[in-house]
Structure 1
Amino acid sequence: MNKNEPRPIPSFPDCPPELGPAAQREWTRLVRELSSLNMVTSLDRAALATYCGAYALWAEATEAIQKFGAMVKSPTGYPMQSPYISIANRQAEIMMRIASEFGFTPASRSRIAVPEEHRLPLFDQPNPGE
């Protein structure tokens, strides 16, 4: 654990207005979870917005794949892979890259070390008189 790591104050960042409804729902879900763990700050806003935007595009592409199938007819009548497959795959890549930064995956969570309260550095100890 980096003892000299900057420690921005945890906060509940505002959802960017540019996000659509599906991305806003994902934003609300994630920020609620991350806030309860004191793991989100206003500095995280852009990365979370990128994740939520990718999530919304992934969900839309996944719904289209379910509706139209993984294979579609090309303009010339030949079967071809649905263009929604590449959209879903690209957004999943973006989501997984950002998810690992925030500890959203089991493997990335296992790399996060949170000191036990009684082992916090002296200046971080709660003051018993407060």
Structure 2
Amino acid sequence: MGLRGPKSKPTELKVLEGNRGHRPMIADGQLRPMVETPDPPKHLGKEARKEWKRITVELVRYNIISRLDQQMLGMLCQAVERVALFETALQRRMLRILTENKERPSDQEQDPAQAYIARTSQGYEMQCIEYQLLNKEREILMKLLGEFGLSPAMRARVVLGQPGAKQLTLFEGGKADGDGKEKKDGPQSFAEF
């Protein structure tokens, strides 16, 4: 079972909105990984590797990815590859059925939709296995796209990372360096924005 309710917002956004919920905000312990491209997993196929190269450029551009996302991104790329595989299999099935119908003279019109239908051993019609697998893999792909904010509906919920190692230090105050002097490497208050 998934998590209930809306996904949490980053603390910085809650402060900028005025903490409408009036709940205590915990700034410590929030994971803010550095934005960088992970290495692709070795088990990715040819199409998945092409998708990896295509999508990582965009994810880094928008500061959405870190090295921690390697496996999740690998699953996304594999899902893209499988959708392409099942689409191709369904198209081949459609061509095969149309070719067989052309060879047999009959009164029936050639219907490409027959590629989506299979018959059981008892003669009942059902969806063909390729179509079932395609739909299942599309569901998986949509969930994974949503995790990275790559579907239009989920894009608004994505929390963008900061490029490089710099993160907002809004709640940390001035950190003292080794000399006891206060160092400032980012905005320390709202007045500095």
User: Shared topology, TM-score over 0.5?
Assistant: yes
Query: Structure 2 matches for 1:1-130, cutoff 5 A?
Result: 1-3=9-11, 4=27, 5-68=30-93, 69-72=115-118, 80-112=126-158, 122=170, 124-125=186-187
Structure 2: stretches of 5+ with no match in the other structure: 1-8, 12-26, 94-114, 162-167, 171-184, 188-193
Q: Kindly report structure 1 stretches of 4+ aligned residues shifted beyond 6 Å.
A: 75-78
Query: Counterparts of 2:149 and 2:186 in 1: how far apart (Å)?
Result: 23
Structure 1: stretches of 5+ with no match in the other structure: 126-130
Q: Equivalent residue of 1:15, what SS?
A: coil
Give the deviation of 1:124 after TM superposition.
3.7
Q: TM-score, length-normalised on structure 1?
A: 0.79
Query: What is the RMSD of the two structures over their aligned residues, measured on CA atoms?
Result: 2.3
Give the deviation of 1:109 after TM superposition.
0.7
Q: TM-score, length-normalised on structure 2?
A: 0.55
Letter in 2 for 1:87: L
Contact 2:40 2:74 in 1 (8 A): yes
Aligned residues: 121
Give the deviation of 1:2 after TM superposition.
1.6
Cα distance per residue 1:68-116 (max 9 Å; x no partner)? 122245578775422111111111111111111110011111223559x
Letter in 2 for 1:52: C
Query: Counterparts of 1:67 and 1:79 in 2: how far apart (Å)?
Result: 20
Bigger drift between 66-75 and 53-62 goes to: 66-75
Give the deviation of 1:63 after TM superposition.
1.0
- Structure ranking higher in helix proportion: 1
Letter in 1 for 2:10: N
Query: Counterparts of 2:78 and 2:134 in 1: how far apart (Å)?
Result: 12
Give percent identity, aligned residues only: 32
Q: Equivalent residue of 1:51, what SS?
A: helix
Larger Rg: 2
